[in-house]
Structure 1
Amino acid sequence: MTDPTVPTRTVDAVVLGAGVAGLYQLHQLREQGLTVQAFDAAGDVGGTWWWNRYPGARFDSEGYIYQYLFDEKLYKEWAWSQKFPGQPEIESWLRYVTDRLDLRRDIRFDTRVTAAHYDEDRGRWTVRTDRGDVVDTQFFVSCAGMLSAPLHDIEGADTFAGQLAYSSSYPAGGLDLAGKRVGVVGVGATGIQIIQTIASEVGHLTVFARGPQYALPMKNPTYTEADQQRYHARFDELRETIPHTFTGFEYDFEHVWADCTPEQRREILEEIYADGSLKLWLASFGEMFFVQEVSDEISEFVREKMRERLHHDPYLVETLVPTDYGFGTHRVPLENGYFEVYHRENVDLVNCRRTPIARIRPEGVELADGTVHELDVLILATGFDAGTGALTRIDIRGRGGRSLAEEWGRDIRTTMGLAKHGYPNLLTTATPLAPSAALCNMTTCLQQQTEWITEAIATLRAEGRSVIEPTAEGEDAWVDHHEEVAGATLVANTTSWYLGSNVPGKPRRLLSYIGGVGTYRQKCAEEAANGYPAFTRT
């Protein structure tokens, strides 16, 4: 038997996760000459795109910007079939990247990291997994993702007698839904994709709507070879533009509300709405995030579009059209025929704000008034413990045995979303207080963060040092800056997973840095250029 206290392997770095960030981080650290071991609980590469195999899963970032931009040949030798590709194609792309860069040999799949403890005397981490690995490593780099800790928050799910699936771990082979009574809980981005995809396939669909969402129509053309060549030819332009925009997309805010007449504003909104992308959210009028009057008018514009497609049905409008928060202050999904689903004879909609779900029973879903909706299949799209959940579910202990789960349970703090005071050589992506915690085209931000981490490690080694850790003062300064920026926006006043509101007891803080992707990138670059003043290095 293996001694659980004796390392089974000694490496320079452990990378947690083999999704978009983890793959690129592994590649960069290997290129630097480090020995690296990556772990992922999934059966193959892909991160969120391996787990989220539910019907209708797809990008709502354009495929040609949701790509790695560090290698022109890697970019141009892959071609998307659609503007917003679906999950199977996305998973194939990530396998293509993995094999092109020969990454598999350093990834251990079907292996969940359960603990990581820092040894102050040795300046190293001991990382343990559910497969018995005990890895001694200098650096522990988290690329676990910001939406990778699913919430299972409805009583009685384990008693359901039919087929039950969580959207976050949907069976790879799918489910046979034809002719069956199917229930979907949740109408967020995931629920919308599932509902619009399966409505025509099932015998009867019951949608349990817990919170209404603004949603924009998606236009998803199929790409010809000429289309693919066109966007390939833009590689240099995209590489120079995308990292510096407000949200890491190719487009940015182009219009100033005060400079336009009411007629011009309407014309601009109509034109951008017709684009069939997230442009209305991310490239119309930036004032919507700061000025209540602007938020109200743009929100009403989107509500009007939604009400029209719901045929102004009072019950559908009440259940599906938001009125208590502004457009863009929550995640905005794209949809394709979603609102029309509710006009089908085989679809029922349950307003769970009127009558909440009490529990799941063997025969179906029971509401607070005692009504039971009998089902053959139940799909739960109930969200995530965003930003923090992936790491708080691991026993991570820093200096003095301090617990990351306990610290984040009291107050969610990081230094630029890249590190945490008290946890030397723990470097992170997609954690709170960086744009990658929600408000960014993920590949844009994850590339930037992994590149920063790679440079920090290279600099440390070149200087003959071995440990990097944020100072308490550096962390305080970043948290104060984050709060100042967030407090100036309407986003900080809403109730959503953006602020951890969907997790009982979670400290309230805007998880994502909202100062802009380009601004964040500049601040990270300045930190490195100035010799890492917010960090100690020994």
Structure 2
Amino acid sequence: MGGLTMSDDFDAIIIGAGMSGMYQLLRLRQLGMRVRVFETGTGVGGTWYWNRYPGARFDSESYSYGFSFSPELLQEWSWSEHFAPQPETLRYLNHVADRFDLRRDIQFNSRVASAVYREATRDWAVTLDDGSVHAARFLITAVGPLSAATLPNIEGRDSFQGQSFHTYYWPHEPVDFVGKRVAVIGTGATGVQTIQEVAKTAAQLTVFQRRPNWCAPLHNRPITDEEQVQIKASYPDIFRRCEETFACFLHTGDPRGTFEVTAEVREAFLERLYSEPGFGIWVGLFRDMLIDPAANAIVSDFIARKIRSRVKDQAVAEKLIPTDHGFGTRRVPLETRYYEVYNQPNVTLVDIKETPIERITPSGIRTSNADYAFDIIVFATGFDALTGSFDRIDIRGEGGVTLKQKWSGGAQTLMGMLVEGFPNLLMLLGPHTALGNIPRSIEYNVDWVSRLLAFMQQHGQRHVAARPEAVAAWMTHVMECGEGLLSNQVDSWFTGVNSNVEGKQTRVIARYSGSAPDYRAWCERIAADGYPELVLD
């Protein structure tokens, strides 16, 4: 080991102490395993630890988002809003960590630099940034699909002398915008939430839009005392509903076709969805609106008319309406008076397709036609999604092959949880798992992995690997699920495209596009048959 000391071995090492890592730790403890979690941050929470930008909140209903595994936890925790803000979600996850005494097995301030599978000892050697090396039979990644933040490739980016930060790395201390000249680069889900809040107090907010996104109203509000009682009495029904729907949300698609109903019925249907809270306007559409271009044009036109009605300056409104993709084919940001922000005298929209950013200067931003002075620059420029968080760790399997090499032409997995040639590596929310309402996917993945490890314990097995023919069959299924989807014809993190990351300019199928029930059925069949798709010994 090159003179490095080897720590005591563990049965399993988990990378990350977000929702996946926390729940997986709890389940492995129940199996009697010796577990260590390595977490880069100073606290638990993952996404909700890092993303402290103003306006951060989830857009799944709070009561459908929290953990479902503990009836006691469900009854003792009360969400304050239908869509909880980041500080409340972080308090919740700290409450979970306290309640189940999770911190004693978590090592904070510990970034995993590399993880190497050692064929001689059939275990994983995990090296931290500080040079310490730790060994475990199983390596479980809980690194999250949206945790590798990316900054834009803009000349002079580090020369700016004011405050600047990516939304993911938001400072832990409050940032004051009062009287400040602020730039926000990016108008994805994160940018939209940030812009709404910054516009309330900044002296001047300039939004640099790389490409507009279709946004829809969140319709958030506090949960009343009466609703709280009803929610706590309804948890079994709530989670049963999440299990049944396509993407584990409380909303699911309408079985009718767009052109099976009259124009009046269509309009009334879309008006109803637009006025309701949450993702219904995205995942509750007519069955063909995300696969048929003509049907998609109907909903896109509807949302475009809403934007024009909410933004007073029609030239600005047109800049906010996407022309390169239809509604719902990229991630739909949910907003609260986002479009009205552009009616404020302190807010300016700069379309950087028209006037590109040439460089960041010590005092601000230079575009092709103007120099702007700023006190604060916010980069709402997203993530190297799905595979990026894996790419940032040097993970090496059999024969010293890196995971990045293995996935150079696009990720290949078995159910998003195993990779051929990487024995005893188990991934939570890896590429090709059923995303959607993320905690529902997390709990399923963790439970499936835990059942596999329990099965191996019962049969005296210490080694698990994915069979190549099983990976091939799964990937064929993944490709078939993606056929005909308009979203797979668009550049977005859904299709693994990120203009800020070298080698991520080509579309790949990086996610599972089928329904969550179909995904679970595939996983359950493998488990029920005794895991024939896996080599267990």
Aligned match of 1:365 = 365
Distance in 1 (CA, whole Å) between partners of 2:315 and 2:470 is 51
Report the Cα offset of residue 189 of structure 1.
Answer: 0.5
Q: What is the percentage of aligned positions where both structures have the same residue?
A: 39
* Cα pair 1:244 1:521 within 8 Å, conserved: no
DSSP-derived class of the 2:288 partner: helix
Q: Using the TM superposition, name which of 128-137 and 417-426 deviates more.
A: 128-137
DSSP-derived class of the 2:429 partner: coil
Superposition map of 1:239-388 within 5 A: 239-257=239-257, 258-311=259-312, 313-367=313-367, 369=368, 371-388=370-387
Aligned match of 1:417 = 416
Q: Using the TM superposition, name which of 22-31 and 496-505 deviates more.
A: 496-505
Aligned match of 1:64 = 63
Distance in 2 (CA, whole Å) between partners of 1:111 and 1:4 is 20
DSSP-derived class of the 1:233 partner: helix
Report the Cα offset of residue 263 of structure 1.
Answer: 1.7
* Cα pair 1:118 1:125 within 8 Å, conserved: yes
DSSP-derived class of the 1:85 partner: coil
Distance in 2 (CA, whole Å) between partners of 1:329 and 1:530 is 36
Distance in 1 (CA, whole Å) between partners of 2:191 and 2:503 is 24
DSSP-derived class of the 2:408 partner: helix
Distance in 1 (CA, whole Å) between partners of 2:448 and 2:519 is 12
Superposition map of 1:128-167 within 5 A: 128-153=127-152, 154-167=154-167
Residue 462 of structure 2: which of 466, 475, 482 is its match?
A: 466
Aligned match of 2:492 = 496
* Cα pair 1:128 1:134 within 8 Å, conserved: yes
Distance in 2 (CA, whole Å) between partners of 1:268 and 1:447 is 33
Q: Once superposed, what is the RMSD of the aligned Cα atoms?
A: 1.4
Aligned match of 1:191 = 191
Report the Cα offset of residue 232 of structure 1.
Answer: 0.8
Aligned match of 2:121 = 122
Which blocks of at least 5 consecutive residues in structure 1 are unaligned? Answer: none
- Using the size of structure 1 for normalisation, the TM-score is 0.96
DSSP-derived class of the 2:342 partner: helix
Aligned match of 1:505 = 503
Q: Which amino acid aligns with 1:135?
A: H
Report the Cα offset of residue 77 of structure 1.
Answer: 0.8
Report the Cα offset of residue 398 of structure 1.
Answer: 0.2
- Using the size of structure 2 for normalisation, the TM-score is 0.97
Aligned match of 1:399 = 398
Distance in 2 (CA, whole Å) between partners of 1:410 and 1:80 is 43
Question: Which stretches of structure 1, 4 residues or more, deviate above 6 A after TM superposition?
Answer: none
* Cα pair 1:54 1:174 within 8 Å, conserved: no
Aligned match of 2:213 = 213
Q: Which amino acid aligns with 1:456?
A: L
Residue-by-residue CA offset, 1:77-130 (whole Å, 9 max, x unaligned)? 100111011110000000011111110000011110111000112110001111
Residue-by-residue CA offset, 1:217-247 (whole Å, 9 max, x unaligned)? 1111111222111111111112222123101
DSSP-derived class of the 2:383 partner: coil
* Cα pair 2:181 2:202 within 8 Å, conserved: yes
Q: Using the TM superposition, name which of 380-389 and 495-504 deviates more.
A: 495-504
Which blocks of at least 5 consecutive residues in structure 2 are unaligned? Answer: none
Distance in 2 (CA, whole Å) between partners of 1:504 and 1:3 is 32
Report the Cα offset of residue 259 of structure 1.
Answer: 4.0
Distance in 1 (CA, whole Å) between partners of 2:307 and 2:516 is 30
Q: Using the TM superposition, name which of 134-143 and 405-414 deviates more.
A: 405-414
Distance in 2 (CA, whole Å) between partners of 1:354 and 1:294 is 30
* Cα pair 2:115 2:126 within 8 Å, conserved: yes
Residue 445 of structure 2: which of 444, 449, 457 is its match?
A: 449
Aligned match of 1:29 = 28
Residue-by-residue CA offset, 1:361-400 (whole Å, 9 max, x unaligned)? 1111122x25221111101011100000111100100000
Distance in 2 (CA, whole Å) between partners of 1:411 and 1:253 is 29
DSSP-derived class of the 2:63 partner: coil
